[in-house]
């Protein structure tokens, strides 16, 4: 299971403009290169999903990718990350086609919550070593509520918190990417969709860099 969600908290309030990008294909097999967890020389690995942070410079500078799972420079220029990690020119089987959900950071932090239930089995035991940092908490949701939310007794009390929609775990809403959701072209209203929609927009590999070039 991919435990890279801590990327989403890094520098959110100190870097000028951030977006969060979920990489998925609907089949839980996402090939990416130059990943530290790989045992291969080329660093390729199959994630069930992957999350990175993309920094948009206000001065018009190079977009930067923040990915702590990557063996590339940290941060890494977006163009380099795309060519070296995503490798759109590499011929993949159709089942490995990758899609990218791009969400504006302030919206993400306002709405997203994960109590890490996806890392536990039916008995409540962790299936992997959990990260040392706290679970991701949406704005207004108390950490104490989130930590105990795996218990059904706490769900209702969590819903009464300042969390906007009452959710304590909505990871699947961001992970689930269907081919029907993918934009086949980039419409003029794309920017308002990126900055205004809770789940952002979904694009394929061919439009990824073009999307960021159109965001002012």
The CATH number covering residue 69 comes to 3.10.620.10
pLDDT of amino acid 94: 65
Report the mean per-residue pLDDT for the chain: 72
Between residues 80 and 159, which one has the greater pLDDT?
80
Residue 178 has pLDDT above 60, yes or no: yes
Same-domain pairing of 160 and 138: yes
Distance CA 23, CA 7 (A): 13
Distance CA 157, CA 151 (A): 11
Same-domain pairing of 32 and 123: no
Mean pLDDT of 138-154: 45
Same-domain pairing of 17 and 80: yes
Number of compact structural domains in the chain: 2
Mean pLDDT of 140-157: 41
Same-domain pairing of 67 and 133: no
Same-domain pairing of 151 and 71: no
Establish whether the linkage from the previous residue to 106 is cis, with ω within 30° of 0: no
Please give the residue range of the domain that contains residue 19: 4-105+175-214
Same-domain pairing of 200 and 164: no
Distance CA 50, CA 71 (A): 15
Between residues 169 and 205, which one has the greater pLDDT?
205
Same-domain pairing of 141 and 156: yes
- Per the CB < 8 A criterion, the answer to whether 211 and 191 are in contact is no
- List the beta bridge partners of residue 102: 21, 201
Same-domain pairing of 90 and 187: yes
Q: Give the predicted TM-score (pTM) of the model.
A: 0.70
Same-domain pairing of 67 and 147: no
pLDDT of amino acid 47: 84
Looking at mean pLDDT, say which of 10-14, 55-59, 148-152 comes out highest.
Answer: 55-59
Same-domain pairing of 101 and 61: yes
pLDDT of amino acid 20: 63
Same-domain pairing of 93 and 131: no
Residue 121 has pLDDT above 70, yes or no: yes
pLDDT category of residue 62 using cuts at 50, 70 and 90 = confident
Mean pLDDT of 166-180: 71
Looking at mean pLDDT, say which of 65-74, 113-122, 131-140 comes out highest.
Answer: 65-74
- List the beta bridge partners of residue 22: 51, 101
């Amino acid at each position: 299971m991919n435990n890279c969600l801590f990327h989403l908290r890094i520098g959110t309030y100190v870097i000028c403009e951030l977006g969060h990008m979920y990489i998925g294909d609907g089949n839980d097999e996402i090939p990416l290169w130059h990943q530290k967890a790989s045992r291969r020389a080329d660093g390729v690995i199959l994630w069930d999903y992957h999350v990175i942070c993309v920094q948009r410079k206000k001065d018009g500078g190079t977009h930067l990718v923040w990915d702590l799972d990557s063996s590339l420079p940290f941060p890494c220029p977006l163009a380099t990350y795309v060519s070296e990690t995503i490798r759109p020119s590499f011929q993949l089987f159709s089942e490995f086609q990758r899609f990218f959900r791009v969400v504006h950071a302030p919206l993400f932090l306002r709405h997203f919550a994960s109590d890490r239930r996806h890392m536990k089995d039916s008995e409540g035991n962790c299936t992997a070593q959990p990260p040392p940092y706290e679970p991701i908490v949406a704005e207004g949701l108390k950490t104490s509520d989130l930590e105990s939310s795996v218990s059904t007794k706490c769900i209702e009390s969590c819903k009464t918190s300042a969390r906007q929609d009452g959710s304590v775990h909505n990871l699947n809403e961001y992970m689930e990417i269907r081919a029907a959701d993918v934009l086949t072209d980039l419409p003029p209203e794309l920017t308002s969709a990126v900055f205004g929609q809770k789940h952002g927009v979904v694009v394929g590999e061919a439009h990824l860099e073009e999307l960021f070039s159109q965001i002012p």
